[in-house]
Structure 1
Amino acid sequence: MALVYEYDVFISYRRGGGDAPDWVRNHFHPRLQRLLDDHVDYDVKIFLEDSVPVGGKWLQVIRDVLQRARILIPICSPKYFLDERCLAEWHTMAKREEIVAKEGVAKVGPLIYPVIFSDSENFPGYAHERQMRSFRDWNKPYPQYQNTVEYLDFDRQMTRMVEELVAVIEQVPPWSSEWPVETPSPEPYRPSKLPRF
């Protein structure tokens, strides 16, 4: 295992169901990659689960990559916080923040940069404690979305985000082999607020 960071960003999102995976692949990840590359003087490496090769040991690859990523960008929806893999990714980086804070490393800020994909009302309390960047108004998964006028607003929002991300990435503490990988259990499903007939 390398003794340094390998990835600048780890994009965390719920893989099954919903529009978030397509939105991440079609719009968020490609635009993030290009904008970050335009804003820094080094080659930016972003991890997306699609990078795991066929036949690779998926869980072990994810654990290794997560430990060697500088920051986490979770794509948040209510079901994100019920997914075991997503929780492991979030809590792993939150634990790293705790460790770094205890060590008193100067100028170290958050290592989690949450993005709201949909419905933030149903996020757990620990998620509400963090400032998040909302993309609810631009969460269209379809490839042709790039050809709309509204996409220009999405691009402006992405540019603002990347300007903040560059500063976040620059303040990341030195890599440590001692950082743990957390595996918490999801909270139980909450009952629906809709009336039953």
Structure 2
Amino acid sequence: MNFPPKMVLFDCDGVVVDSERVTNQVLRDDLAARGLDLPLDEIMHLFVGGVMAGVAVEAHKRGATIPDDWLETIYPKIYTALEHTVTTIPHIEAVLDALDAANIPYAIGSNGRLEKMDLTLGRTGLLARFKNRMYSGQDCAAPKPAPDVYLKAASDAGVDPGDCVVIEDSANGARAGLAANMYTFGFTHDTNPDALAPYCDALFDDMAKLPKLLGLDL
């Protein structure tokens, strides 16, 4: 991989917006009321980087009572919590500024719904920076860990996958970057490094370090 890259692809939750603990606290409380009472850290280990339909299946396997309309009830709870508490990951604006200064395009590839990205990026003032550059794995043939969402973003930008860098905070997301043949950084701000290391080319714990890792002049 030659640095700087020709494109940078970010996951959204836990990489651009600090939303993982908020979302998973809502899940923890909801699932506890349905018979699956687990600590928040275990909930995050199980579900970060997945899709909500997969959460329902896994929670049911582990003993939770999941009604047929659970997806329609859990999303509003999550969105309400995020609307009041979501913030940006520290220093992400500086990373985007550095990419803009270097004329390097960037996009978001997430397993979350586009409406969730609209909410979290809108509440944090970043929505305009990702206008027409947000991709959901739920709109692809397969979500992460399949590479589809990242390959779609690169294809739309006319950039070869091998010239792209992926920034991820989950094993599923890092596996997607790996499968897309993209250099993948694992962001360990809120993730156990051991969960990311097998699927990442490099790890880092502070977004302020990313411009230098990307080979950008500051």
Q: Give the TM-score taking structure 2 as reference length.
A: 0.38
Kindly indicate whether structure 1 or structure 2 has the higher relative contact order, using CA contacts under 8 Å at least 6 residues apart: 1
Q: Give the TM-score taking structure 1 as reference length.
A: 0.41
